[in-house]
Structure 1
Amino acid sequence: MSLLGRDFHSSLDDGSKSLLERNSNVTAENVHPAEEASGLSRMQTLIHLLKCNIGTGLLGLPLAMKNAGLLVGPISLLGIGVLTVHCMVILLNCAHHLSQRWQKTFVNYGEAMMYSLETCPNAWLRTHSVWGRYTVSFLLITTQLGFCSVYFMFMADNLQQMVEEAHMTSNNCQPRKFLVLAPILDIRFYMLTILPFLMLLVFIQNLKLLSIFSSLANITTLGSMALIFEYIVQEIPDPSNLPLMASWKTFLLFFGTAIFTFEGVGMVLPLKNQMRDPQQFPFVLYLGMSLVITLYICLGTLGYMKFGSSTQASITLNLPNCWPYQSVKLLYSIGIFFTYALQFHVPADIILPFAVSQVSERWTLFVDLSVRIALVCLTCVSAILIPRLDLVISFVGSVSSSALALIIPPLLELITFYPEDMSCVTIAKDIMISILGLLGCVFGTYQALYELIQPISHSVANATGVYA
């Protein structure tokens, strides 16, 4: 394990730095200061921040609003967003303080946890401080592979609808009607169809080439979002019959989905470090996250008001069966396909150095490609075993995202600043945020697992593929 700790730190420096400079769709942990005088401008940093927070979780927010209620949902999403941004600021402050204390140019998320534990009053924690770094790295790997599994389901869901409804697709964009259709092919078939193409995609290790795919993904995502908003703002039904508050059980699913959407907590330190003027990063962070939270609330609320009880796991599955809106599914799926390789870089860059170090140079390429194939297959198997997009989003959000976004940052602040006479208000605030995150993690995970083991018909309203 000590070998892993030594190796993955150095191996990520060049790769993650390049990945951040060319694209920030991934949640990279280990990005170190650029040696060149040039850096990211405020506008470039803002674009990167927006990109790393807008993914598939955004499209699941209308169903999240359904799980929370028309009134409780937007208010809760705003509250979670504010808490998440506050925890990002905590992480920035702790990293800055620790870099000065240890005379480091830059510390990443995992290093911040390790260095803070090395100076805490508890002797056992000081001795085992490196496990703080391992824990953060493990959570990043779990979160990113969870994202990749969600991407498999998202692409398969949309591909199934596009293929099996092709003969019914027309130029007349009428609202989608409720019809129970027997799928021609199981959705797992579509997942297996996508698998070999993703295997080939992750073999591309040239980040300059991937940056071309990243640009294409951004263009297709922007175009599809414009078409989605153009549709959901038209002829919104009377929302008075929608519940203002849902049951507490479905609210737990909302919590996991909401946390899942805030994917950028691991990017705040690398982005600040890469800025030309890092002192301006707080302004960029507040502006960018304000735009993100506004987008989340608008899409989630309007989407739920538009589709009501028929809201599905991804809003793209509710769009009319006509060519203009079928193109939305195609465009967004293309964007997600290329984003898969970029999200995949984080777990690969953490795991591969350790795996390659165990073999001779002769077997390096074979082990590298084998590990990449194994990780892609792992995300595919996860998607095949649990083909419920909404529940997997909630599960990944509850387990990993809540720990990275809400639980660890307040604890990090307590450990870092406690020896320096923190105020009682700050201590109480940090404890409350961590407890809230822990409760959401535990109960959200329980509810997601409970729903996952139920028969599909148990919660068909949240299932996909039953509307035509």
Structure 2
Amino acid sequence: MNADIKTVTVYPTTELELTTPTKPANGSKDDDYDPHQHRDVKNPTTNWQTFAHFLKASVGTGVLAMPSAFSHAGYVNGTIFTLIIGLLALYCLHILINCMYILCKRQKVPYVSFSEAMKLGLKQGPPWLRCLAPIAVPFVDGFLAFYHFGICCVYVVFIAESIKQLVDEYLVVWDVRLHMCIVIIPLLVIYSIRNLKLLAPFSSAANLLLAVGFGIILYYIFDDLPPLSEREPFVAFTQLPTFFGTVLFALEAVGVILAIEENMATPRAFIRPCGIMNAGMSIVLGLYILLGFFGYWKYGDEALGSVTLNIPQSEIPAQVVKIFFAITTWISYALQGYVTAHILWDKYLSKHVRESRRTGFELLFRAMIVLLTFGCAIAIPDLSVFLSLVGSFCLSILGLIFPALLQICVQYTEGYGPFRIKLIINVLLLCFGVLGGAVGTYVSILDIIEVYK
């Protein structure tokens, strides 16, 4: 599995450089330093490989929950709010990556991580926020690692449920937890790949399987659609937090997106107006709205946590879909879990291990992560409630609150533009993220209690 190939680039930055920022001169107009030209990435990915990773990172099990999400919003609300949340998520990714680039120029370093950017930004921001700088790195790293760990837990459940449906139909009926035990070995195998470039062919293959799988699902959905009048265009406001959490979980993969941008050979192509991120998110949003709208139209309030559970269980094409999505989710496990291992191992643990032993210990550490995700999946096997909880709690913070707070800090010395428009937008994003995250988390916890009481 090419386990000896190192996946993380260590840039020549020092603690002094990262903690004593230089003040920019009028937005650094006279500064010719371009961080993109100074990156020295081992095994960089091409634009097409990055695009494949982006699609695979953004189109996971969450898209299959979109019909269920629409049942908590209605087909009108669902369409409008999915578009709004998607555009907000994309906007926040743009301001996050742009702020990281500005900080790199100020520090004259090739790259800073999300957590390091938050620390630097807080140090340069309003005085009343600077006291938060010392806790920024562990706080952001902790949320990123926990979020992507949570995604991997959901993936274990999804893969096991897909296999269970197939085995139940043709062989023997087993508890889903037994199937989770079976998938541990394949997960250990793919999670031992530590190089995003080596994972790129897997992502490309997974995207092809996703395309075929979506085609089959849409075939079942479009077959004998009921009258649209039988579905609700709007639902009670109290159901929207569950919708918010599910959609945010489905759309956001901030840690992986930053990781694949870091690993690019030409990172400038990632954020161009017609670049990888905008093009990829357009495709992703289109797929999510398409499947959510028509899936809800077809199944209504009977839409389950994964639409693959609604299509006929005994027909061959339906079984093929489950196999395809189980394979693509298996591949996504390595992509999402890359972030957790990258943060915990490379930033905190590897420095305590002799270099000659690091490969073996890292593989052992990755095996421990797989076993921990298995344990959590055993404890909470209900897919839909876990999706909403992880999305509401982590993504509102990582995808909305932190990027808005970072731009407030980074722009502090340069101003916020006419009428302080950037400050106003970011304050609104902070309020939306706090309110949506708090209410969504509360409702998700109530749902979990209801399921397991």
TM-score by length of 2: 0.83
Q: Deviations over 1:239-279 (max 9, x none)?
A: 21222222333211111111011234345555556363716
Deviates more, 1:367-376 or 1:132-141: 367-376
Q: Which stretch has the larger CA shift, 82-91 or 384-393?
A: 82-91
Deviation at 1:406, TM superposition (A): 0.9
Shift of 1:395: 0.8
Change (3 A) 1:387 1:248: farther
Offset of 1:140 from its aligned partner? Answer: 1.4
Distance of 1:155 and 1:296 partners within structure 2: 20
Amino acid at match of 2:445: L
Deviation of 1:132 after TM superposition, in Å, equals: 1.7
| 1:256–1:394 Cα contact (<8 Å) kept | yes
Contact 2:56–2:206, Cα closer than 8 Å, also in 1: no
Change (3 A) 1:315 1:355: same
Cα separation, partners in 2 of 1:355 and 1:14, compared to 1, 3 Å: closer
Give the structure 1 partner of residue 438 of structure 2: 442
In structure 1, what is the Cα distance between the partners aligned to 2:344 and 2:45?
Answer: 28
Partner of 2:149: 145
Is 2:416 aligned against 1:407? no
Question: CA 1:204–1:419 in structure 2 vs 1: closer, same or farther (change >3 Å)?
Answer: closer
Judge conservation of contact 1:114–1:130 (CA < 8 Å) in 2.
yes
Query: What does residue 283 of structure 2 align with?
Result: 291
Give matches, 1:124-163, under 5 Å: 125-126=129-130, 129-163=133-167
Say whether 1:276 aligns with 2:266: yes
1:213 is the counterpart of 2:197: no
Task: Determine whether 1:13 maps to 2:9.
Answer: yes
Tell me the distance in 1 between the aligned counterparts of 2:370 and 2:52.
28
Aligned to 1:21: none
1:218-254 residue CA offsets vs partner (Å, 9 max, x unmatched): 3322221222223222321112122222233321111
The 1:184–1:399 alpha-carbon spacing in structure 2 relative to 1, beyond 3 Å, is same
Q: Is the 8 A contact 2:52 2:207 kept in 1?
A: no
Q: What is the aligned residue count?
A: 417
C-alpha separation in 2, matches of 1:286 and 1:203? 31
Check 1:377–1:438 CA distance in 2 against 1; reply closer, same or farther (3 A cut): same
Question: What displacement does 1:378 show?
Answer: 1.4
C-alpha distance in 2, partners of 1:107/1:377? 31
**Cα 1:352–1:42, aligned 2, differ >3 Å: closer, same or farther?**
closer
Matches within 5 A, 1:298-313: 298-313=290-305
**Aligned mates of 2:362, 2:44 — CA distance in 1:** 32
Moved more, 354-363 or 259-268: 354-363
- Structure 2: unaligned runs, 5 residues or longer: 1-5, 12-35
Is contact 1:214–1:338 with CA below 8 Å preserved after alignment? yes
CA-to-aligned-CA distance 1:270-312 (integer Å, 9 cap, x gap): 5556363716623223333222211111111111111122211
Matched, 1:120 2:119: no
1:403 alignment partner, SS class: helix
Mark the CA change 1:160 to 1:433 in structure 2 (over 3 Å): closer, same or farther: same
C-alpha displacement at 1:39, in angstroms? 7.4
CA contact (8 A) 1:255 1:398 kept: yes
Q: Hey, what's the Cα distance between the residues in 2 that align with 1:228 and 1:54? A: 15
C-alpha contact 1:45 1:275 (8 A) present in aligned 2: no
Q: Which amino acid aligns with 2:415?
A: D
Cα deviation, residue 322, structure 1: 0.4
Return the alpha-carbon distance in structure 1 between the equivalents of residues 200 and 415 of structure 2.
46
Residue 447 of structure 2: aligned partner: 451
Q: Flag structure 1 segments of 5+ consecutive residues without an equivalent.
A: 1-9, 16-30, 168-182, 459-468
Q: Does the Cα contact within 8 Å between 2:259 and 2:339 map onto a contact in 1?
A: no
Q: Which amino acid counterpart does residue 301 of structure 1 have in structure 2? A: F
Instruction: Give the aligned partner of residue 259 of structure 1.
Output: 248
Query: Is the contact between residue 32 and residue 106 of structure 1 (CA under 8 Å) also seen in structure 2?
Result: no
Distance 1:213 1:357, change over 3 A: same
Match of 1:102 in 2: 107
Q: Distance in 1 between matches of 2:420 and 2:157?
A: 46
- How far, CA to CA, are the matches of 1:84 and 1:394 in structure 2? 16
Which stretch shows the higher mean deviation, 362-371 or 216-225? 362-371
Query: Which residue among 373, 392, 397 is the counterpart of 2:386?
Result: 392
2:377 & 2:299 partners in 1: Cα distance? 26
* Structure 1 residues 196 and 288: alpha-carbon distance in aligned structure 2, compared to 1, 3 A threshold: closer
**Which residue identity does 1:276 align to in structure 2?**
T
Which of 334, 340, 347 is matched with 2:333 structurally? 340
**Residues 277 and 192 of structure 1: is their aligned pair in 2 closer, same or farther, counting only changes over 3 Å?**
closer
Amino acid paired to 1:283: C
Aligned residue number for residue 325 of structure 1? 318
Which residue identity lines up with residue 164 of structure 1 in the other structure? D
Shift of 1:431: 0.8
Task: Tell me the distance in 2 between the aligned counterparts of 1:412 and 1:293.
Answer: 25
Q: 1:288 to 1:217 in 2, by over 3 A?
A: closer
- Structure 1 counterpart of 2:362, which letter? D
1:66 to 50, 71, 77: 71
Q: Aligned partners of 1:208, 1:98: CA distance in 2, in Å?
A: 27
Structure 2 equivalent of residue 229 of structure 1: 218
Give the alignment partner of residue 383 of structure 1, picking from 377, 384, 388: 377
Q: 2: CA distance between counterparts of 1:352 and 1:430?
A: 33
The SS at the match of 1:71 is: helix
Q: Root-mean-square deviation (CA), in Å?
A: 3.0
CA contact (8 A) 2:404 2:426 kept: yes
The answer for the alignment partner of 1:27 in structure 2 is: none
Asked whether the 8 Å contact 1:98–1:116 carries over to 2, the reply is yes
SS at match of 1:58: helix
